[in-house]
Structure 1
Amino acid sequence: MMKESDTAGVVRIDDMEAKVFKALLYFVYTDTLPKTMKEKEEEDVMLQHLLVAADRYNLERLKLMCEDKLCKYIDADTVATVLALAEQHHCSGLKKACFSFLKSRENLKAVVSSEGFKHLSRSCPTLMEELVSMLAT
């Protein structure tokens, strides 16, 4: 005789916030992104987490949708984080959009002194080489 445990039928996913997993499931069932994200900053962060989840579960269409939306959030405050994310998760379109943003002298000057950019240059030196060669042409 088998005794059922209290967690029968429960699947634990410890490395993802519940709201991100809920959005992932929403996409799987509807093929669309949830429209619940209101504030710009909240949506930006949610899309970053959702992109990571999409990459992890090999949901290419969701990954591309997140990538496309994240391109609209690139600014001096977010570009370093978004560029690191693009590099880690092989998002060529998002990476290209970040590089395009950084082509502007004003944008580059605003970003270079930021902590995020300093962290990016330490953690992704090959990305910095790519950026410098892109700016040199």
Structure 2
Amino acid sequence: MKESRTQADVVQVDDMEVPVFKALLWFLYTDSLPEMSKEDEDAMYQHLLAAADRYDMERLKLMCEDKLCEYIDVVNSTTILTLAEQHHCHGLKKACFSFLSNPANLRAAMASDGFKHLSRSCPSIEKDLMSMPES
């Protein structure tokens, strides 16, 4: 006997890529982060953090926040800082500010496209960064 599938059987999840949704489901069933390739981790943890915040999954959010602290560098520091501000990740925000407290890191980050996005998205954070003392 073949079951019929109707539109009611389909759950549409907008604004989330399939690998992120699969990772979210993995976490729901295992209470752990899925294995992923090293080159995908940084971006995946960013998307997974946003999904965790969207669905109020605080433990997953904290796990992603912790992992992202390991990936902060000149290239992505402003992108991660923007993410931290938008999703209220105080530990991640603090880690970004710590990284950017180095004047060389701050200068390089301010020259990036990510800084332009940060300036538009989170103007108060831009002001905080501009007021950081140069050593």
TM-score by length of 2: 0.89
Deviations 1:76-101 (A, max 9, x none): 11011100000000000000000000
| 1:117 aligns to 2:115 (yes or no) | yes
Output the CA distance in 2 between the equivalents of 1:5 and 1:22: 22
**Alignment match of 1:61 (pick from 18, 37, 59):** 59
Deviations 1:18-73 (A, max 9, x none): 111111111111110001x1133x11111111000000000000000000000111
> Secondary structure at 2:41's aligned position in 1?
helix
Deviation at 1:115, TM superposition (A): 1.6
> Secondary structure at 1:19's aligned position in 2?
helix
Matched with 1:29 is 29
Output the CA distance in 2 between the equivalents of 1:43 and 1:74: 12
Cα root mean square deviation, aligned: 1.7
Deviation at 1:127, TM superposition (A): 0.8
**Alignment match of 1:86 (pick from 84, 87, 99):** 84
> Secondary structure at 2:7's aligned position in 1?
coil
Output the CA distance in 1 between the equivalents of 2:96 and 2:83: 11
TM-score by length of 1: 0.88
Q: Which amino acid aligns with 2:55?
A: Y
Output the CA distance in 2 between the equivalents of 1:56 and 1:71: 20
Deviation at 1:5, TM superposition (A): 5.7
> Secondary structure at 1:14's aligned position in 2?
coil
- Structure 1, 63-72 or 11-20: larger mean CA deviation: 11-20
| Unaligned ranges ≥5, structure 1 | none
Q: Which amino acid aligns with 1:24?
A: L
Output the CA distance in 2 between the equivalents of 1:8 and 1:112: 49
| Identity over aligned pairs, percent | 63
Output the CA distance in 2 between the equivalents of 1:30 and 1:115: 37
| Unaligned ranges ≥5, structure 2 | none
Matched with 2:17 is 17
Q: Which amino acid aligns with 2:21?
A: F
Matched with 2:38 is 39
